[in-house]
Amino acid sequence: MTSHHSSPVNSGTNLDPWFGHYAARAAGLSASEVRALFAVASRPEVVSLAGGMPFVSALPSELIRQSFERVMTESGPQALQYGSGQGTPELREQILEIMALEGIRGSVDDVVVTTGSQQGLDLVTKLFINPGDVVLAEAPSYVGAIGVFRSYQAEISQITMDEFGLIPAALCERITALKSVGKTIKFLYTIPNFHNPAGVTLTWERRLEILEICRSESILVLEDNPYGLLYFDGPPPQAMRSVETEGVVYLGSFSKTLAPGFRIGWALAPHAIREKLILANESAILSPSSFSQFVVSEYLRSSDWKAQINTFRGVYRERRDAMLAALDENLPDLRWTVPSGGFYVWVTLPEQIDSKSMLPRAVKELVAYTPGTAFFAHGEGRQSMRLSFCYPTTDAIRLGIRRLSSVINGERELLNTFALTGSFASIRGNDKVTTPPPNVN
Amino acid sequence: MTSHHSSPVNSGTNLDPWFGHYAARAAGLSASEVRALFAVASRPEVVSLAGGMPFVSALPSELIRQSFERVMTESGPQALQYGSGQGTPELREQILEIMALEGIRGSVDDVVVTTGSQQGLDLVTKLFINPGDVVLAEAPSYVGAIGVFRSYQAEISQITMDEFGLIPAALCERITALKSVGKTIKFLYTIPNFHNPAGVTLTWERRLEILEICRSESILVLEDNPYGLLYFDGPPPQAMRSVETEGVVYLGSFSKTLAPGFRIGWALAPHAIREKLILANESAILSPSSFSQFVVSEYLRSSDWKAQINTFRGVYRERRDAMLAALDENLPDLRWTVPSGGFYVWVTLPEQIDSKSMLPRAVKELVAYTPGTAFFAHGEGRQSMRLSFCYPTTDAIRLGIRRLSSVINGERELLNTFALTGSFASIRGNDKVTTPPPNVN
């Protein structure tokens, strides 16, 4: 599909005159199969439990206005100008204060401001991955990370989790197996807190075990922590970066604790890697937006941002509680994870119900979710779904779960009917065994 | 240096424990050799003719404040939220209006908003370049583009220009030569208007010739046009994209006509390429900043942006005139290009004066410029320098050129002294013949 030696002549089979010209890595860029459906799901009458959009309306717009006004008064020309590829020194200092809440001590020199932490993921992957190199990740893992790894032709190897997060023994086994066939493992990508999509949190003991394994195997750890401050029942264990400086690149973000529209995230990296990240950042975008950085900086300087995060915690805690209660009430025989923070619940469906093929029917019944397949690189996850409680109101969540329950029960009836005739498997077109998802219920 | 199979053990020669782990492409990321010097050159007492920073102070901050205020009143939550990977429909419509000024008709569906046009460059290169593929570019070319091409391991082949821009016959010859040794040429990167750094503009006849050559050779044209609307003596020829839809990816930017701090640029691409650009954009950053896009959109909707661009033209025209007059007065025997728009003059030094090794002395005399070597992939350009007239005031420009003249004359004296003793060459350490730069004077 991406041979780069053929000439770009239209054949009858492809209308793109540049068909033969793309780089090999372009084959890794593919649209989500459920993208078209999500366009439908964004209609107002649909309750979407699919997206990961934070509830920015809980942020008083007055705080942003005041910050902006002060920025334009005090430093308009700088805010409108190009900046440093590393980000402004003031914002990097403030980022250190935020990370200190999770036990991290670092130098302002080792922070690189990025265009959302997504760009941090992209830059680290660009720096480390040759085609065919292995990235280890949790099973399931963040869909946007899988996309980035693919776009640099990484081989993605996903490792089993349970309710305490990634399983160290499974990590060891996988490393041994990959090394025995000559694979080069570059890094472990992990979301230790309030995992997206699994909703679980890696225990402190496991953090230490995993760091030790990666240290002894010379595998870099990419610790992605967008949700860590959004805890509902007390803070999660401290960041892995808090006890390991040289072996961890830490990614943080303002997208969930402030607002994603600014597109401001950051990486905290060991000295040498940080130097290369800055160069990669400059190559990609010259410099992160001064405009966004100045406004975020002023907001952090002049607002009680910790109180604001506490407000967010309250909003999301209430929504999580509503979702868990609604699941208990409407779908008591299903299994799901119980997140102690973040945005997501991971639900395991009855055997043979396929979350992906059920989605059109769900959208028809005015409820949307993300099928588990989105979070696996190789097609697993059909028996699971991610439900987000971050954006809809508690009433909408209750309504959405009721609708979902009716869709799932409809599927079960269909399943039972066809089970009697023995023709279910051929109709579903899905006899794949799904990777066991993490389960707490 | 980037073998990815060696283990990350500290050797005595490298302190980076991840030394052996980087991807092969990371070797293409290198800091500018003059970066340290530019840190010194940013001291206020130095007249910098080095940077390409637009003079954002000519933009009434009131216009931005009003736009922001309306955005927060009318669409605060959307401006703070994630957006589409392609950019907002409203901004893409407005971008079409802007491009219409340069003769371009396109569909709003084929516009992709990027984090500055630098990111457009990065994404197109990521999509097309396998290691070893050839990118054709002008000699000299934009330093940031050379950096991107290197970061994806492209082979960069730079082609001679004269005062009318890229020379079509030289392009043909180069293509033939590259093909004869089996090279795969992916695209031609060109800045047709007010070239950075050469200051020249590609004639209309040559635009047509070059498009014809690239069409017949199946080479994509990447038309980079950040300066097109900043003309001083009447508009430049229409965009290459105005007469060629399928063979051109056009890159535009608000960085020079509004402000770079927003980091908003765009690509207009043939349908199939555009689809892949959106996926690459989502992979890299999820979505361009909603916050920036909404403010830029509102500015375009409610302000007389054409009048504002006209104001910028006046400011930069006056500065160009000051620079050309000062060159005439102080360095009459040098050669330089006469830009009819944009930010830059390209100056050719007397033979054997090396712009790169002269720079520390210039900074000591409180004037900075960019040595020509920055704009070549393979070390050429020592006999040239880029002077920017965009940021300093006319007084500062006159002062800067006087200082520069004294530095150059000092070099000449030194040169004459050593020429008498016959030892010049060994002292300069530079006997390289520079590529003939474009010259009009």
Residue A93: is its pLDDT beyond 70?
Answer: yes
Give the pLDDT confidence score for residue A183 in this predicted structure: 98
Q: How many residues does chain B have?
A: 441
| CA neighbor of A166 nearest in space, from A195, A135, A124 | A195
Distance CA B94, CA A87 (A): 29
Q: What is the DSSP letter of B231?
A: B
- The reported pLDDT for the residue numbered B436 is 39
User: Residues B294, A259: contact at Cβ < 8 Å?
Assistant: no
Q: Do domains A29-58+308-427 and A61-302 have the same CATH topology?
A: no
pLDDT(A36) > 80? no
pLDDT at A432 over 70: no
Structure tokens at A213: 């394994």
Please judge whether A283 and B8 are an interchain contact, meaning their C-beta atoms are less than 8 angstroms apart: no
SS3 B22: coil
Mean pLDDT of A200-215: 98
Tell whether A69 lies on the interface with B, counting CB pairs under 8 A.
yes
Residue B177: HSE in the Cβ half-sphere, 13 Å Cα cutoff: 10
Q: Where are the domains of chain B?
A: 29-58+308-427, 61-302
> What pLDDT does residue B31 have?
76
Q: Is A183 exposed, middle or buried (0-12, 13-18, 19+ CB in 10 A)?
A: middle
Can you give the pLDDT of all 441 residues of chain B as single tens digits?
Answer: 333 443 444 344 468 889 899 999 999 888 766 676 677 777 889 999 998 899 999 999 899 999 999 999 999 999 999 999 999 999 999 999 999 999 999 999 999 999 999 999 999 999 999 999 999 999 999 999 999 999 999 999 999 999 999 999 999 999 999 999 999 999 999 999 999 999 999 999 999 999 999 999 999 999 999 999 999 999 999 999 999 999 999 999 999 999 999 999 999 999 999 999 999 999 999 999 999 999 999 999 999 999 999 999 999 999 999 999 999 999 999 999 999 999 999 999 998 899 999 999 999 999 999 999 999 999 999 999 999 999 999 999 999 999 999 999 999 998 888 776 654 443 333 333 334 344 333
Contacts A16 to B, Cβ<8 Å: 270-273
Q: A186 to chain B, minimum CA–CA distance in Å?
A: 7
Phi, psi angles (nearest 5°) of residue B244: -145, 110
pLDDT surpasses 60 at A271: yes
Is B48's Cβ below 8 Å from some Cβ in A? no
Q: Which CATH number fits domain B29-58+308-427: 1.10.3130.10, 3.40.120.10, 3.30.420.40, 3.90.1150.10?
A: 3.90.1150.10
User: Rounded CA gap, B116 and B109, in Å?
Assistant: 19
Quickly state the pLDDT bin for A418 (edges 50, 70, 90): confident
Return the CA Rg of chain B: 23
A128 touches chain B (CB under 8 A): yes
Place of tokens 């960069």: B156
Partner-chain residue, chosen from B79, B271, B279, that has the shortest CB–CB distance to A261: B79
Using H for helix, E for strand and C for coil, what is the string for B393-423?
CHHHHHHHHHHHHHHHHHHHHHHHHHHHHCC
Average pLDDT over residues A268-285: 96
**A235 half-sphere exposure, CB direction, 13 A CA radius:** 10
Query: Average pLDDT of A358-362?
Result: 95
Residue A203 confidence (pLDDT) above 80: yes
Q: What is B61-302's CATH number?
A: 3.40.640.10
Q: Which residues pair with A384 in a beta bridge?
A: A348
Model pTM score: 0.92
Element containing residue B290 per DSSP (H, E): helix B290-302
**Would an 8 Å CB–CB cutoff place B279 in contact with chain A?**
yes
The pLDDT value recorded for residue A50 is: 93
CA atoms of B438 and B337, how far apart (whole Å): 7
Q: Return mean pLDDT, chain A.
A: 91
Write the CB contacts of A289 (distance below 8 Å, at least 6 apart in sequence).
Answer: A115, A262, A263, A264, B115, B261, B262, B263, B289, B292
Contacts of A328 (CB under 8 A, 6+ apart): none
Mean pLDDT of A223-249: 97
Tell me how far apart the alpha carbons of residues B403 and B382 are, in angstroms, rounded to a whole number: 20
The CA-based angle B347-B349-B355, given to 5 degrees, is 90
Interface check B1 vs A, CB under 8 A: no
Nearest-by-Cβ selection for A279 from B17, B31, B152: B31
Nearest to A22 among B83, B127, B262 (CB): B127
pLDDT digits (tens, 9 = 90+) for A126-166: 999 999 999 999 999 999 999 999 999 999 999 999 999 99
The residues, any chain, with a CB within 8 Å of residue A195's CB and separated by 6 or more, are A138, A161, A165, A201, A202, A342, A344
* Under 8 Å between Cβ of A346 and A201: no
* Residues 6+ away with beta carbon under 8 Å from A19: A6, A8, A11, B272
CB-based contacts of A306: which residues, under 8 Å, 6+ apart? none
Is some CB atom of chain A closer than 8 A to the CB atom of B60?
no
pLDDT at B39: 74
Task: For residues B387 and B152, give the distance between their C-alpha atoms in angstroms, rounded to a whole number.
Answer: 29
Burial of A73 from C-beta contacts in 10 A (0-12 / 13-18 / 19+): exposed
- Indicate the burial class of B45 (C-beta count within 10 angstroms; 0-12, 13-18, 19 or more): exposed
Nearest to A239, CA basis, from A196, A185, A194: A194
Mean pLDDT of A355-371: 95
Q: How many residues does chain A have?
A: 441
What's the average model confidence in pLDDT over A297-312? 97
For chains A and B, CB pairs below 8 A equal 258
Q: Which residues contact B30 (CB under 8 A, 6 or more apart)?
A: A279, B150
Choose among A81, A194, A188: nearest CA to A145.
A188
B260: which 2 tokens?
Answer: 């770079």
The answer, yes or no, to whether residue A440 has pLDDT greater than 60, is no
Predicted ipTM > 0.85: yes
Interface of A with B in 4-23 (CB under 8 A): 4-5, 7-9, 15-19, 21-23
Lowest mean pLDDT, pick from A4-18, A74-88, A330-344: A4-18
- Residue B366 in contact with partner chain A when CB distance is under 8 A: no
Which residue matches tokens 């910050």? Answer: A67
Calculate how close chain A gets to B145, using CA atoms only, in Å: 8
